[in-house]
Amino acid sequence: MKAVVYDGPRTVSVKDVPDARIERPTDVLVRITSTNICGSDLHMYEGRTDFEQGRIFGHENLGEVTEVGAGVDRVRVGDLVCLPFNISCGFCRN
């Protein structure tokens, strides 16, 4: 898949990266249909916070669930989801 990758302060590129996959029973795969760069991404882009080269930007997004891990029971394949930066574990009050 393509992703916006951090190459250093004020330098990003669009690169091919490995497709995401289920790694833990609580994982959910989402086909991203829309994304945005958040203000916290701008802090990293500008070099004002510590962010290692090679990391991927764009953590505020929308999409469709394409696969769920065995431990997921609140989200199903086909659900449309919004993934804000402050996403919680889904089990605690948050």
Q: Return all residues near 31 (Cβ < 8 A) that are at least 6 apart.
A: 63, 64, 66
Q: Is the pLDDT of residue 38 over 80?
A: no
pLDDT value for 90: 67
Q: How far is CA 87 from the centre of its chain?
A: 10
Q: Is the pLDDT of residue 17 over 90?
A: yes
Could you give the CA distance from residue 15 to residue 1 in angstroms, rounded to a whole number? 8
Q: Is the pLDDT of residue 88 over 90?
A: no
Q: Is the pLDDT of residue 91 over 90?
A: no
pLDDT value for 29: 96
Q: Is the pLDDT of residue 47 over 70?
A: yes
* Enclosing H/E stretch for 12: strand 11-16
What is the CATH number that goes with domain 2-83? Answer: 3.90.180.10
Band of the pLDDT at 37, cuts 50, 70, 90? Answer: confident
Q: What is the dihedral of CA 48, 43, 28, 66, to 10 degrees?
A: -130
